[in-house]
C-alpha cells in the first residue's frame, strides 16, 4: 500500500432542506437511452445511474450523453458496473488496472465522479482479503488522481465477498478516502446477515445507496435478483428500516432505484418512471412516522385520508348490459331510488349498499359488456386525499358537473378506474331526483364489503403500490392458487379499521389462445349479518345464485368436520365455506356472470375472519364455467 494517496473528490450536495436527491438506474426502464432519460426527467428524478450497456449501444458519445442529461436537469450520479477486479493474480491485475483507466476516461467525459465496482465472481479471484484490500487501494489511488470515487458493492452471489459486512471489512482495512461502500438493499436483505451493523459504518464511507424491493422467494439469488426485483413498497423487504440504518450512518447521497424486472424492461418507460417515483415518495414518507416537528419538516405528503367506508360502486353500461344489471339488482333486493338530474345515471340502494349504473361513460369494451368504471370512498377530508394523490403522481381527474351538483374529486387508478372521495354525509345523493319507488324489504344486504378487481399482469404491482400509497391501505397478504385456466395471484388490501377492502387479482401467466374463462372479471361483494336469511330471500326473489358441485360439500365435511345439517344448508343455497387458523369463518355465495364480466358476491364474516375466501376461488371459477356451458 502506498502512503501518498490523494484526497477523494467531494460528494455532491443533498437535495433542498436536507431531503435526499432521487435517482433511477437506466436499467430500470425500457427503451433506448433517449427514452430512458426523457422518462426519468419527466417523472421528476434528480439524477440517474448510467448502466454501461445503455451507453455502449447509444449513438451518442459520453460527452453528448452528459450534455443531454444537463439539458434535462439530470445528474449522472453513478456509472456502473465495473466487474471482476479485486483479489486476482498479478497479470490479471495489470489488465484490470488498464481496463479501469479506460472507464475513468468515460467517467471524465460523462462528468460523473463515482464508479461502482462489484465484488468479483471470476473463477480467477482468490479468497484473500488482504490481497483485495491492496488491489482496491491501488484502484482508489488511480481513481482519486482523476477526481473519481470507487463504490465497492458486495454482490449477493459474489465468489468470495457476498455480504455487506464482508465488503465493509475490506473497505475499512483499505482506509482510502476514495474507496467506500455501495449498499444495495437487495444484496443486503436477500442474505441472512443482520443489517443492524450498517448504522455503525464510519460516516462518509457509504458512497452510494441502491434500493430495490422483492417478494420473498426460495430460489437462486442471482435469478431472484435479475428477474423479480420490485420498486419500494411492492415487495416484502423492510426498506424503511434499511434506509433508516443507512441514513443514521451519515449517508447524504441520493436514494437511487436499481430494479431488474422483466415486466419493467418491456413496459412504457414513462409510466414505469412515474411508478418508480411514486415508490420513492411513499418510502420517504415512511421514514418519518412520528409527529415530531423535525419529522414533519421531512414529510412531503399529506397524511393518508381516514377512510370510513364504501360510498358507491359505479358500473359503465350500455343499452344491452344496462337492463341486464337492472334485473340483477332487483333480484338482489335493490331498489332504483334515484335518477341523475343531468346525466343518464341511475342510483340503486339497499341498506348501506349503493350502486350507480352509468350509461354515459365511454369505455373501450365490447357492446353488451359492463365494467366497474368507478367507486367512491367516504373520508372526512376529500381535499387532503386528492392532495396526497397528486403528490404521489396519481392523475387527478377533471369532472364536468352541472349547476348545484356535488363536487366529487377523483383520481385515476392504474387500470383506468376512477376513485372518488366523498364526504361522509353523502351530499352527492342530492344530485339524484327521487324515483318514487317504494324501498322494499330487500335481501338483508347491509354494506359493501369489498371490490374484486382483476388487473393487467404488467401493472399488478403498480396497482398494489397505488392503493397502498394513495389510499393508505395495508396489504393483507398475497395468495396464489391453481384455477381451472391457470395460476392466479390475489392480493388483499384494507384500511386499519376494516372499513374499506379491495382484492386485486391477476392471471400469473397467459399463454395460447384457448382461454374460456371470463376476461378480466370484476365483482362487488355485499355483506350480510345472516347469510342463510339472505340466501332464502334471494331464493324468493328468484335470483339464480351459482350452483356448486356436490363434491365440494363432501370435501367440506372431510376438511373442517362440519355437521351434516350445516353442510346440507350450505349445499341448498350454494354457499361456500372457509375457516382461518384463528377460527374465523367466511360463508359466501355468488351470482352468475352478467354483462360479460360482472358478478356479485354475498358474504357473512364471523369471528374476525379477515380474508377473501381465496381457497374457494377455483371452485367459483369452475362453477362459472359450467354455468356458461349450460347456457350455450
> Residue 472 corresponds to which cell in the numbers above?
393508505
Helix, strand or coil, per DSSP, at residue 23: strand
DSSP for 529-589, written as a single string: S-HHHHHHHHHHTT--PPP--HHHHHHHHHHH---HHHHHHHHHHT-EEEE-TTS-EEEEE
Maximum alpha-carbon separation in the chain = 92
> In sequence order, what are the beta bridge partners of 578?
586
Q: How far is CA 476 from CA 14, 129, 317, 609, in A?
A: 36, 44, 32, 12
E strand or H helix at 146? none
> Residue 360 corresponds to which cell in the numbers above?
354515459
Q: What residues contact residue 533 under an 8 Å CB cut-off, 6+ apart?
A: 444
Quote the strand ranges of 10-82, DSSP E.
Answer: 22-25, 47-51, 75-82
Q: How far is CA 257 from CA 127, 183, 206, 243, 593, in A?
A: 31, 12, 16, 12, 42
> Residue 110 corresponds to which cell in the numbers above?
460523462
Task: List residues forming the annotated binding site for a divalent metal cation.
Answer: 153, 184, 210, 258
Alpha helices in 111-220 (DSSP H): 129-145, 164-174, 185-189
Task: List residues forming the annotated binding site.
Answer: 153, 184, 210, 258, 450, 523, 601
E strand or H helix at 294? helix 293-298
Task: List residues forming the annotated binding site for Mg(2+).
Answer: 450, 523, 601
Amino acid at each position: 500500500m502506498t502512503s501518498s494517496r490523494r484526497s477523494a473528490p467531494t460528494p455532491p450536495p443533498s437535495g433542498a432542506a436536507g431531503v435526499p436527491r432521487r435517482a433511477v438506474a437506466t436499467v430500470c426502464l425500457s427503451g433506448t437511452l433517449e427514452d430512458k432519460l426523457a422518462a426519468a426527467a419527466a417523472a421528476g428524478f434528480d439524477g440517474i445511474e448510467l448502466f454501461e450497456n445503455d451507453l455502449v449501444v447509444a449513438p451518442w458519445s459520453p460527452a453528448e450523453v452528459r450534455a443531454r442529461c444537463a439539458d434535462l436537469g439530470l445528474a449522472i450520479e453513478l456509472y456502473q458496473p465495473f466487474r471482476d477486479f479485486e483479489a486476482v493474480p498479478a497479470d490479471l491485475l495489470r489488465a484490470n488496472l488498464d481496463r479501469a483507466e479506460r472507464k475513468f476516461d468515460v467517467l471524465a467525459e460523462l462528468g460523473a465522479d463515482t464508479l461502482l465496482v462489484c465484488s468479483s465472481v471470476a473463477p480467477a479471484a482468490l479468497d484473500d482479503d488482504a490481497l483485495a484490500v491492496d488491489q482496491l487501494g491501488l484502484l482508489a489511488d488511480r481513481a482519486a488522481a482523476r477526481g473519481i470515487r470507487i463504490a465497492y458493492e458486495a454482490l449477493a452471489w459474489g465468489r468470495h465477498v457476498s455480504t455487506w459486512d464482508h465488503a465493509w471489512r475490506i473497505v475499512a482495512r483499505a482506509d482510502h478516502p476514495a474507496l467506500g461502500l455501495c449498499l444495495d438493499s437487495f444484496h443486503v436483505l436477500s442474505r441472512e446477515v443482520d443489517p443492524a451493523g450498517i448504522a455503525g459504518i464510519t460516516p462518509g464511507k457509504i458512497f452510494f445507496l441502491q434500493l430495490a424491493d422483492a417478494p420473498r422467494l426460495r430460489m437462486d439469488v442471482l435469478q431472484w435478483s435479475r428477474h423479480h426485483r420490485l420498486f419500494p413498497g411492492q415487495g416484502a423487504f423492510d426498506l424503511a428500516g434499511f434506509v433508516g440504518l443507512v441514513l443514521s450512518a451519515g449517508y447524504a447521497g441520493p436514494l437511487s432505484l436499481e430494479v431488474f424486472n422483466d415486466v419493467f424492461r418491456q413496459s412504457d418507460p414513462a409510466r414505469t418512471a412515474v411508478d418508480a417515483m411514486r415508490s420513492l415518495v411513499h418510502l420517504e414518507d415512511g421514514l418519518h412516522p412520528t409527529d415530531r416537528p423535525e419529522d414533519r419538516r421531512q414529510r412531503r405528503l399529506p397524511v393518508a385520508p381516514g377512510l370510513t367506508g364504501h360510498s358507491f360502486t359505479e358500473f359503465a353500461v350500455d343499452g344491452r348490459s344496462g337492463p341486464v344489471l337492472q334485473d340483477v339488482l332487483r333480484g338482489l333486493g335493490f331498489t332504483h331510488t334515484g335518477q341523475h338530474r343531468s346525466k343518464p345515471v341511475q342510483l340503486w340502494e339497499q341498506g348501506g349498499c349503493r350502486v350507480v349504473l352509468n350509461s354515459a361513460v365511454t369505455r373501450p369494451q365490447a357492446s353488451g359488456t359492463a365494467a366497474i368504471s368507478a367507486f367512491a370512498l367516504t373520508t372526512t377530508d376529500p381535499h387532503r386525499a386528492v392532495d396526497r394523490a397528486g403528490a404521489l403522481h396519481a392523475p387527478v381527474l377533471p369532472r364536468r358537473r352541472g349547476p348545484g351538483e356535488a363536487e366529487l374529486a377523483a383520481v385515476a387508478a392504474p387500470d383506468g378506474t376512477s376513485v372518488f372521495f366523498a364526504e361522509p354525509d353523502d351530499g352527492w345523493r342530492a344530485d339524484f331526483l327521487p324515483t318514487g319507488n317504494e324501498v322494499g324489504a330487500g335481501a338483508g344486504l347491509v354494506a359493501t364489503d369489498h371490490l374484486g378487481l382483476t388487473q393487467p399482469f404488467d401493472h399488478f404491482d403498480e396497482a398494489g403500490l397505488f392503493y397502498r400509497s394513495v389510499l393508505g391501505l395495508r396489504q393483507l397478504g398475497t395468495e396464489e392458487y391453481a384455477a381451472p385456466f391457470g395460476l392466479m395471484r390475489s392480493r388483499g388490501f384494507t384500511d386499519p379499521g376494516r372499513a374499506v377492502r379491495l382484492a386485486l387479482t391477476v392471471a400469473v401467466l397467459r399463454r395460447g389462445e384457448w382461454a374460456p374463462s371470463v376476461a378480466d372479471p370484476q365483482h362487488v361483494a355485499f355483506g350480510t349479518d345472516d347469510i342463510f336469511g339472505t340466501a332464502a330471500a334471494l331464493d324468493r326473489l328468484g335470483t339464480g345464485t351459482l350452483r356448486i358441485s356436490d363434491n365440494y360439500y363432501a370435501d367440506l365435511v372431510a376438511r373442517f368436520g362440519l355437521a351434516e345439517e350445516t353442510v346440507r344448508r350450505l349445499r341448498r343455497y350454494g354457499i361456500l365455506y372457509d375457516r382461518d387458523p384463528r377460527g374465523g369463518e367466511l360463508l359466501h355465495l355468488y351470482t352468475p356472470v352478467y354483462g360479460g364480466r360482472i358478478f356479485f358476491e354475498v358474504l357473512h364474516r364471523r369471528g374476525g375472519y379477515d380474508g377473501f375466501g381465496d381457497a374457494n376461488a377455483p371452485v367459483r371459477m369452475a362453477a362459472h364455467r359450467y354455468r356458461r356451458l349450460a347456457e350455450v
